Amino acid sequence: MSEKLQKVLARAGHGSRREMEAWIAAGRVSVEGEIATLGDRIEADAKVRIDGRPVSLKSAEDVICRVLAYHKPEGEICSRKDPEGRPTVFDRLPRTKDSRWVAVGRLDINTSGLLLFTSDGELANRLMHPSREVEREYAVRTFGEVTDAKVQQLRTGVTLEDGPAQFDAIKSAGGEGINQWWHVVLCEGRNREVRRLWEAVEVQVSRLIRVRYGMIELPKTLPRGGWMELPLDQVNYLRHIAGLDAEERSLLGMDKHSVARAKVRSAKVRRAVRKHKTPGTASNGRKAPTRTRS
């Protein structure tokens, strides 16, 4: 049975469905030697090229859905390449054969914490859709006086330039003086929304860390710049909230070959962290300090 071209490319991990639609519209994709157009459907044996290079297509049965949890440090951007030469979140990820890692959402350059990547572009596309309303929890360090009235305002809603917004949950997490820590929850992912909400009540955010996406928490043992592959139950939790069928296979396992591969992956993570570690930057843990000085 034929399927939409952008869906097949996304499933094979060449990017999110939205990215593939943009590539098709830009004339970067050809099918059987002809420039593709949005709405094209293809058969499983079609010959497809992106920017003139042949690409691998996979049926739904051939694709193993993989998900990585990555501990993004501050200073990395969420683009694959940067004209200014800044480090990107893709630099340290493991290589995959005939596919690419697709980021589930974005974190801005000054935000650290949990960022998910998947080999299944359709999963990424669905999780990023606003209709899914997946909870994102952040640890926030604020600078400035936060009154009860301001907290209540953030709960009930403020007006931003792109419409009304509010925190779905907000609670104090300690601090000292005008430097305070908070945990806040949002169910949408508008650009810089956490920072803009605090700025709307005249409070500055001095540090921002994403600690949870849905029920997936940032692993406490995962160093900044490190990644780990999620087990099958967590992959299927994400597939469930995205409205996709459960995955039955995983590259993780308890046989001796899987254990050996896990040790190799762990060593690669440690090497990647050491290689990219910024001088003077800590690389262990995610727990936010509770005592700070301005």
* DSSP 8-state assignment for residue 28: -
Question: What does the alpha-carbon distance between residue 21 and residue 53 come to, in Å, rounded to a whole number?
Answer: 18
Q: In 10 A of CB 177, how many CB atoms?
A: 10
Question: What does the alpha-carbon distance between residue 52 and residue 32 come to, in Å, rounded to a whole number?
Answer: 11
CB within 8 Å of 109: residues ≥ 6 apart: 74, 75, 76, 77, 86
* Residues forming beta bridges with residue 161, ordered by sequence position: none
Contact between residue 5 and residue 20 where contact means Cβ atoms under 8 Å apart = yes
What does the block give as tokens for 161? 């330039």
What's the distance, CA 249 to chain centroid? 22
Q: Which is catalytic among the residues 51, 62, 108, 162?
A: 108
Closest CA to 161 of 205, 128, 110, 195: 195
Contact between residue 105 and residue 192 where contact means Cβ atoms under 8 Å apart = no
**Helix pair angle (17-25, 121-128), 10° resolution:** 100
Is there a catalytic annotation at residue 108? yes
Residues forming the active site: 108
